[in-house]
Amino acid sequence: MSKLKWTIKRGMEVVYTGTLKNMVLYSGWAELGSYGKGQCENGIKVGKWEYYNVNNQPMLYEEYDEHGLRQGWSRQYHPNGQLEKEEFYKDDCVQGDVNVFWPNGNVHKWISHSREGRIIEVKSYSKEGNILKLHQIIEQYKLKRSLVTRLKLEYIYDSDGHLLVEHKFERGRVVEVNEANKQCI
């Protein structure tokens, strides 16, 4: 059997043999060098897939349905083996909360999604676990190839987790700034 290869075709990663010009989509168990391994049906990844970093350590675990869409939990790992990112997919769209972790295991970001897969809230934390920023998002939409996000509220904290400033937005512009503990002399 020819060596297995992979590429992006029509927005999806496919596994094949041959050349890009004369591609034969692969079916069966696939081991893509030290990159990853899992099952393929007609070139499309199906079932559980495991991916590895250059040191051959687990980097990512994902599961695909019969159409090649991500379904269920996706877990990504730091080189030290600690969980880096955990998110849940339904029909290749993120659902619910996404947790991103620092290499020490503390939460780095918490991202909440609507049922439609849009981000509605983001919290950022320091390596020590103190909150740094909170964003409440009012809308997201695509403009050409970019995703435009309009904020509703932004809270910025110091390294100890104390509120420094609050920004309120309307139509993408700051309309109100409230600074915490501002003292007038």
| 37-59: pLDDT as tens digits | 899 898 899 999 999 887 888 89
Q: Mean pLDDT, to the nearest integer, of 17-44? A: 81
Domain annotation covers residue 156: yes
103-112: pLDDT as tens digits: 999 999 999 9
- Sign for the CA dihedral angle at 125, 70, 77, 25 comes to negative
**pTM metric for this prediction:** 0.73
Alpha carbons 78 and 59: distance in angstroms, whole number: 7
Determine the pLDDT at residue 6: 75
Domain that includes residue 147, residue range: 100-185
Least confident of 23-27, 36-40, 141-145: 141-145
Domain boundary among 31, 51, 71: 51
Are 41 and 120 found together in one domain?
Answer: no
Q: Which residues pair with 9 in a beta bridge?
A: 12
Does 156 have pLDDT greater than 90? Answer: no
Q: Mean pLDDT, to the nearest integer, of 164-174? A: 82
Residue bearing tokens 């899992």 = 38
Number of domains in the chain: 2
Domain annotation covers residue 121: yes
1 vs 155, residue with greater confidence: 155
Looking at residue 134, its amino acid is L
